[in-house]
């Protein structure tokens, strides 16, 4: 069985652009995890694309070196594979457009459909959906619109941003005015800053069935008003698994089309879980899930798509795993 894995950052999506070190490190971790776990369960025919600036991913995979924009080579590589895996950012509709390309050309595509990707690629759209479903989430406005009330400051970030990239904390109205002047207001949103525990949960979804894979602690730092994710404690928050599972069911009911791995960022404040971001794609937490659960989670996901029936996964034997960036 032939597998094709396309990861946008390391795979040539940023040809002729700067390759950000932090994103490249996290992306490489995810690619290495999927390759290692596919090989461990007997799947050795794996093809990837690789930006010429990125180091080799070992000798176990076929690596197409990308020196020019990769859109021309992707359809052929997708059609040649039996199973296709995609990791890409939501920025500038990248994940949406690539999902469309993969769904049109792949025999088996391990990922969510266009509806789910569209609903979660922009934070304003996600906010409207979650609010209408009575799911707790920070009030979200365009930066150029009315500023939401806040006693603890605000978070400014791109509407289609990824994780903590370009995520700015602003503590007062004066600094807020300064940031409003320098940002492209049409693509930046603002939310009240919520003080609490930073968390995420990792899900596996198939035909509306949900398996909770991990309840994670996010290690967040604030330096020069910039927010950074510096580490993840995979399954460090298992005490919240029941509440997270219930929240996951509400989210999947509100947004149809999720399939495969989903990462959801949360803040727990005053015993409430606020949904901060929903990622219908592999996230960095994935690198620690198999070790935490003591199983090959990639094999479980693959078997589900091949057999068309979700595989049972439980957290009874899960142990915390630290990931540092």
Nearest in space to 302 (alpha carbons), one of 263, 261, 252, 249: 261
Q: In this structure, is residue 129 part of a structural domain?
A: no
Other Cβ atoms within 10 Å of 64 Cβ, number: 16
Q: In this structure, is residue 143 part of a structural domain?
A: yes
Return d(Cα 41, Cα 51) in angstroms, integer.
Answer: 27
CB within 8 Å of 143: residues ≥ 6 apart: 156, 179, 180, 183, 185, 188, 189, 190
Based on the domain organization, do 238 and 307 belong to the same domain? yes
Return d(Cα 72, Cα 132) in angstroms, integer.
Answer: 40
Other Cβ atoms within 10 Å of 134 Cβ, number: 8
- Higher-confidence residue of 195 and 16: namely 195
Based on the domain organization, do 166 and 221 belong to the same domain? no
Which token pair is 175?
């600094």
pTM: 0.94
pLDDT tier, 182 (very low <50, low <70, confident <90, very high otherwise) = low
Return d(Cα 231, Cα 247) in angstroms, integer.
Answer: 24
Based on the domain organization, do 221 and 185 belong to the same domain? no
Q: In this structure, is residue 119 part of a structural domain?
A: no
Looking at residue 215, what DSSP letter applies? Answer: E
pLDDT tier, 325 (very low <50, low <70, confident <90, very high otherwise) = confident
Looking at residue 55, what DSSP letter applies? Answer: P
Q: In this structure, is residue 117 part of a structural domain?
A: no
Q: In this structure, is residue 125 part of a structural domain?
A: no
CATH code assigned at 102: 3.40.50.11770
Based on the domain organization, do 188 and 232 belong to the same domain? no
- Sign of the alpha-carbon dihedral angle for 170, 172, 174, 176: positive
Which token pair is 325?
């960036």
Based on the domain organization, do 167 and 267 belong to the same domain? no
CA separation, residue 7 to residues 65, 84, 120, 184, 236 (Å): 13, 11, 19, 28, 27
Q: What number of CA atoms fall less than 13 Å from residue 300's CA on the CB side?
A: 21
Q: In this structure, is residue 315 part of a structural domain?
A: yes
CATH code assigned at 304: 3.30.470.20
Return d(Cα 312, Cα 315) in angstroms, integer.
Answer: 10
Give the pLDDT mean for 98-115.
98
Based on the domain organization, do 176 and 95 belong to the same domain? no
Based on the domain organization, do 234 and 295 belong to the same domain? yes
Based on the domain organization, do 39 and 83 belong to the same domain? yes
Q: What pLDDT was estimated at residue 180?
A: 67
Nearest in space to 285 (alpha carbons), one of 318, 242, 256, 252: 318
Based on the domain organization, do 215 and 186 belong to the same domain? no
State pLDDT tens for residues 247-272: 999 999 999 999 999 999 999 999 99
In 3-state terms the chain splits into helix, strand, coil percentages (rounded to 5) of 35, 30, 35
Which token pair is 93?
């509709």
Contact between 281 and 268 under an 8 Å Cβ cutoff? The reply is: no
pLDDT tier, 164 (very low <50, low <70, confident <90, very high otherwise) = low
State pLDDT tens for residues 22-37: 889 999 999 999 999 9
State pLDDT tens for residues 115-140: 999 999 999 999 999 999 999 999 99
- Sign of the alpha-carbon dihedral angle for 11, 13, 16, 18: negative
CB within 8 Å of 240: residues ≥ 6 apart: 199, 215, 268, 273
Which token pair is 298?
């990639």
Based on the domain organization, do 249 and 294 belong to the same domain? yes
Nearest in space to 52 (alpha carbons), one of 90, 22, 10: 10
What is the residue range of 201's domain? 196-324
Based on the domain organization, do 229 and 316 belong to the same domain? yes
Return d(Cα 90, Cα 50) in angstroms, integer.
Answer: 20
* Strand (E) or helix (H) holding 72: none
Which of 65, 90, 110 represents a domain boundary (last residue)?
A: 110
Other Cβ atoms within 10 Å of 199 Cβ, number: 23
State pLDDT tens for residues 46-83: 999 999 999 999 889 999 999 888 888 999 999 999 99
Contact between 283 and 88 under an 8 Å Cβ cutoff? The reply is: no
Based on the domain organization, do 317 and 213 belong to the same domain? yes
How many domains is the chain partitioned into structurally?
3
State pLDDT tens for residues 271-315: 999 999 999 999 999 999 999 999 999 999 999 999 999 999 999
Which of 192, 211, 229 represents a domain boundary (last residue)?
A: 192
Which of 90, 110, 130 represents a domain boundary (last residue)?
A: 110
Q: In this structure, is residue 317 part of a structural domain?
A: yes
Other Cβ atoms within 10 Å of 89 Cβ, number: 21
Q: In this structure, is residue 92 part of a structural domain?
A: yes
């Amino acid at each position: 069985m032939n597998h094709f894995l396309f990861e946008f950052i390391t795979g040539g999506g940023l040809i002729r652009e700067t390759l950000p070190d932090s994103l490249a490190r996290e992306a490489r971790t995810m690619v290495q995890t999927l390759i290692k776990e596919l090989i461990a369960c007997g799947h050795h025919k794996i093809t990837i694309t690789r930006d010429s600036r990125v180091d080799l991913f070992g000798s176990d995979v076929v690596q197409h070196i990308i020196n020019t924009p990769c859109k021309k080579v992707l359809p052929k590589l997708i059609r040649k594979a039996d199973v296709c895996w995609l990791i890409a950012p939501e920025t500038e509709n990248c994940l949406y457009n690539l999902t469309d390309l993969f769904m049109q050309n792949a025999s088996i595509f391990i990922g969510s459909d266009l509806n789910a990707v569209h609903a979660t690629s922009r934070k304003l759209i996600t906010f409207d959906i979650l609010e209408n479903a009575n799911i707790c989430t920070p009030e979200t406005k365009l930066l150029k619109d009315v500023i939401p009330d806040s006693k603890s400051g605000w978070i400014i970030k791109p509407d289609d941003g990824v994780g903590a990239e370009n995520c700015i904390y602003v503590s007062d109205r004066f600094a807020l005015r300064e940031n409003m002047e320098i940002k492209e207001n049409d693509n930046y949103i603002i939310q009240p800053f919520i003080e609490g525990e930073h968390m995420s949960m990792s899900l596996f979804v198939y035909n509306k069935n949900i398996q909770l894979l991990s309840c994670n602690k996010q290690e967040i730092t604030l330096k020069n008003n910039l927010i950074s994710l510096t580490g993840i404690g995979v399954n460090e928050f298992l005490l919240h698994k029941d509440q997270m599972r219930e929240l996951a069911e509400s989210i999947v009911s509100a947004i149809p089309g999720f399939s495969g791995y989903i990462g959801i960022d949360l803040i727990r404040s005053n015993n409430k879980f606020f949904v901060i971001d929903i990622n219908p794609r592999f996230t960095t937490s994935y690198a620690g899930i198999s070790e935490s659960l003591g199983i090959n989670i990639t094999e479980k996901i693959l078997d589900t798509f091949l057999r068309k029936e979700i595989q049972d996964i439980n957290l009874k034997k899960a142990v915390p795993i630290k990931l540092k960036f």
